[in-house]
Amino acid sequence: MRLVLNEEIHEAIFKDLIPSAKRFVWIATADIKDLHYQRTARKFDTFLSMFDDLVSEGVEIRLIHAKEPGPRFRKDFDRFPQLINSDRFERVLCPRNHMKAVIVDGKRAFLGSANLTGAGMGAKSTTRRNFECGMMVDSKETVGGLMDMFDQLFIGEHCIKCDRRDVCPDPIA
């Protein structure tokens, strides 16, 4: 396990963890915005372009978020028809989800406080970003337990008995 703080989260997730994916990336977040990551020393790009590249390479992506993204995200998302049309990119909305995790290939994961936003992932300036913490883990037991919880949420195992169905815009089950 390795502690990851503040802007280190951006580096750990977008330069190490997600680019290492060969089979799948699972991401859970409460909030999701039009986040950009540092693609090269001089260029920032939307994280959706990274997802688009991964899907093109055959990597499957699952995304759980708790609320509908804002208009900037939706406009940016529309630039990537492959994400809209591909069976390799799936997303579900669960208003009860507050988990923040990134799981790659069932081998490594990040879990912590950061949402999938610029302020959360350390992509904003040092005076505007959130104070966040998390852990990079590679323990088979920890990653496996996290995957089990994620999968239960993703397939809607909790939906039928959920007391929030009346406010859920898109029940899974």
- 121 or 111: which leads in pLDDT: 111
Give the whole-angstrom CA distance, residue 99 versus residue 63.
Answer: 12
Tokens of 52: 């688009």
Reply yes or no on whether the pLDDT at 160 is more than 90.
Answer: no
- State the average pLDDT for the chain: 93
Average pLDDT, stretch 10-17?
94
Phi, psi angles (nearest 5°) of residue 59: -80, 135
Range from 35-49, 65-79, 97-111 carrying the lowest mean pLDDT? 35-49
Angle, vertex CA 77, rays to CA 103 and CA 117, nearest 5: 50
Per-residue pLDDT at 141: 98
Average pLDDT, stretch 65-91?
93
Average pLDDT, stretch 8-15?
93
Domains in the chain, CATH or no CATH each: 2-167 (3.30.870.10)
Average pLDDT, stretch 61-89?
93
Task: Confirm if 10 and 47 have CB atoms less than 8 A apart.
Answer: no
Reply yes or no on whether the pLDDT at 47 is more than 80.
Answer: yes
Per-residue pLDDT at 24: 98
Reply yes or no on whether the pLDDT at 55 is more than 80.
Answer: yes
pLDDT tens, position by position, 119-132? 898 777 788 889 99
Reply yes or no on whether the pLDDT at 36 is more than 80.
Answer: yes
Give the whole-angstrom CA distance, residue 1 versus residue 109.
Answer: 10
Average pLDDT, stretch 105-126?
90
SS3 content of the chain, % helix, strand, coil (to 5): 30, 25, 45
Give the whole-angstrom CA distance, residue 23 versus residue 60.
Answer: 6
Range from 29-33, 129-133, 156-160, 168-172 carrying the lowest mean pLDDT? 168-172
pTM of the model: 0.94
